[in-house]
Structure 1
């Protein structure tokens, strides 16, 4: 389980008051009956850590009851998603910090829900008497603070502002105020301004300086995946300053230079396409054209190399299929699931983001578990949906740093 603590440069929580409170009380005797009836299946009610923290002493049932109340209180903070079964009690668990204070940890599904409400964290308070256990849960909102440049561009140079606001409203409009949407759009423009500045400055930095401004996480897992020899599919999107983080990040594990290949569409004019290809090649990356390249992709995977698959762009038929993305149908590439099923290559999500101090992080996550189905078509849809969910998770962690200017839901009318 993960805790949603991936706050970006545009966000702060230290001065933010709770925007919603929920309280739940349960009878300890009721929880005792549940524990007795499900003695061998407590993992259906509590996480392994919660069961371990409750111990085996006389206070065990009261401790479990307080945790049960905490889960219910958390669900009350998100009544719509709870009613739709988007989240369940098992998406929340109580963990202790080094001082013994309780905190809420959430699963990826719940983290996406929190992110779409712009909730930075849930604070929890637990107590119990001889007969009842009570939990109080507080939602702490993210405070979005756009830069001056972002506010200026939003007002005076509104490049694709309508598209950005439509996209933001699809994801956040049902959960937050319109003023928050505007602030997030302004923060996004600030990100684009920083991105342009960084791309210009990056060309003039020394190799040592380029390497120092990027921190790479998950390298051991990537090296292990390369050593397995089955090839790798890297699932990613347009997060942060991806060009800076990848070009500088590969210097942290130079042993894979020449073995990572970016999949991208050909662009016009040809000289620009050639320039970008040359820059990637100089940095130690290969480039594979997206169209008509299935044989080349499979050959690259079978050779044990990695294909970087930007997965957050609109895909029209026949390459794309309609799959849910942030609760709405979106044309999504099916080829990644097909290739993964055909080759057995692991799918490893990756994302990059800018830290408040201006440095960058490139992170490789654990491989996604393949979802199996007797129906091949359904298996493709299930895995493609899982890939979209991995993209959603990276977006809500640093929402202003995703590419909101892209028409991800092309041909889908905006929700009112």
Structure 2
């Protein structure tokens, strides 16, 4: 029954265009702003404490963030509209030479991004701009299996496999060792067993070490990329400088820490530049290190 309900809602939403998703997504964000007072206050307090914003500025930025998040939730319905026309009319490549370098890269690729901007549209952009290469996106499976089945169908493409993060390592590693690319969102909270603890926006956070470990095992290049919204219906693709994991030095654990720190710092820079587009509703700092733990920065 739930499968049928989700399929019916998706079929209705798939007829929406970019403008309708924008207006309805922003309306959804305003609804969440009113319906989730604890998350609203959490976001405002975090912006004051971590970004140094005034309470008034933090509240305005948090409301804008909720509206962006509402759009993010609905933009999965636009994934099928990411095509060459989308690239011509709506997408701005901020650094074309970096994209050309990425497209000519023959090494395995671990692409890292965040719940920032139009993250649901980043998967089809990733698929479209890297033709001919085997690709995967690794996602966290929700508890609702019917919802998971629907989102997997909406995200999948012929050469883009959606991989559940549970037991994903063997499949991802095979893809990378065949010269493919795997993409991860690396800004979510994670369990202690999956984490390396690193500073993020001035507080210690549990950072998923899985992408770092897989990149190191495959000898991959780590490519940060982000899809930000601009204007009423445009998007900008940012490609930040890469990290070659073969050049990382130290013990095995030190290498993992350095790679994870690399992508954590890139995400932090982007969040500081565009705080209104980040997912502040998330309890990012929920998992903390054991009592008595102290942070030791890796040696450069």
Q: Which bracket does the TM-score occupy, shorter chain normalised?
A: 0.7 to 0.9
Q: What SS class does the counterpart of residue 212 from structure 2 fall into?
A: helix
- 2:101 aligned with 1:221, yes or no? yes
Of 164, 182, 185, 2:43 maps to 164
Provide Cα deviations, 1:273-295, integer angstroms capped at 9, x if missing partner.
Answer: 11121222237421122122212
Specify which of 290, 294, 301 is matched with residue 169 of structure 2: 294
1:303-322 residue pairs with structure 2 within 5 A? 303-322=178-197
Structure having the larger proportion of residues in helix: 2
Structure 1 residues 220 and 290: CA distance shift in structure 2, 3 A:
same
- Structure 2 residue 213 is the aligned partner of structure 1 residue 338: yes
> Structure 1 pair 377/199, CA: closer, same or farther in 2 (3 Å)?
closer
Tell whether 2:59 aligns with 1:179: no
Cα 1:367–1:204 shift into 2, 3 Å: closer
CA distance 1:184–1:368, shift in 2 (3 Å):
same
Match of 1:381 among 257, 265, 271: 257
Partner-residue secondary structure (3-state), 2:46: helix
How has the CA–CA distance of structure 1 residues 195 and 209 changed in structure 2, closer, same or farther, with 3 Å as cutoff?
Answer: farther
C-alpha displacement at 1:206, in angstroms? 8.8
Rounded to whole Å, the distance in 1 between the matches of 2:29 and 2:194 is 38
Shift of 1:392: 0.7
Counterpart contact for 1:263–1:308, Cα < 8 Å? yes
Write out aligned runs for 1:15-414 (5 A).
153=31, 156-158=34-36, 160-172=39-51, 175-195=52-72, 198-199=75-76, 202=78, 207=83, 209-211=85-87, 212-216=89-93, 217=96, 218-225=98-105, 228=106, 230-248=107-125, 250-251=127-128, 253=129, 255-256=131-132, 259-282=134-157, 284-370=159-245, 372-411=248-287
SS of the residue aligned with 2:131? helix
Note closer, same or farther for the CA distance 1:261–1:300 as it changes in structure 2 (3 Å cut).
Answer: same
Q: Is the 8 A contact 2:72 2:119 kept in 1?
A: no
Instruction: Give the length in aligned residue pairs.
Output: 258
Q: Cα–Cα, structure 1 residues 279 and 163, in superposed 2: closer, same or farther, change >3 Å?
A: same
Please tell me whether the aligned partners of residues 214 and 245 of structure 1 are also in contact (alpha carbons under 8 angstroms): no
CA–CA separation in structure 2 for the residues paired with 1:293 and 1:249: 19
- Relative distance call for 1:196 and 1:372 in structure 2 (3 A) is closer
Tell me if the contact between 1:236 and 1:391 (Cα under 8 Å) persists in the aligned partners: yes
Give the alignment's TM-score, normalised by structure 2: 0.75
In the alignment, structure 2 segments of 5+ residues that lack a partner are 1-25, 290-300
The 8 Å contact of residues 245 and 361 in structure 1, kept in 2 or not, is answered as no
Distance change >3 Å, CA 150–CA 282, structure 1 → 2: closer
Q: Secondary structure at the match of 1:255?
A: coil
User: How has the CA–CA distance of structure 1 residues 324 and 194 changed in structure 2, closer, same or farther, with 3 Å as cutoff?
Assistant: same
- Contact 1:150/1:187 (<8 A) preserved: no
Which structure is larger by alpha-carbon Rg, 1 or 2?
A: 1
- TM-score w.r.t. length of structure 1: 0.55
RCO higher in structure (CA 8 A, sep ≥6):
2
Aligned to 2:21: none
RMSD in angstroms over aligned alpha carbons?
2.9
Inter-CA distance 379–164: structure 2 relative to 1 (3 Å threshold) = same
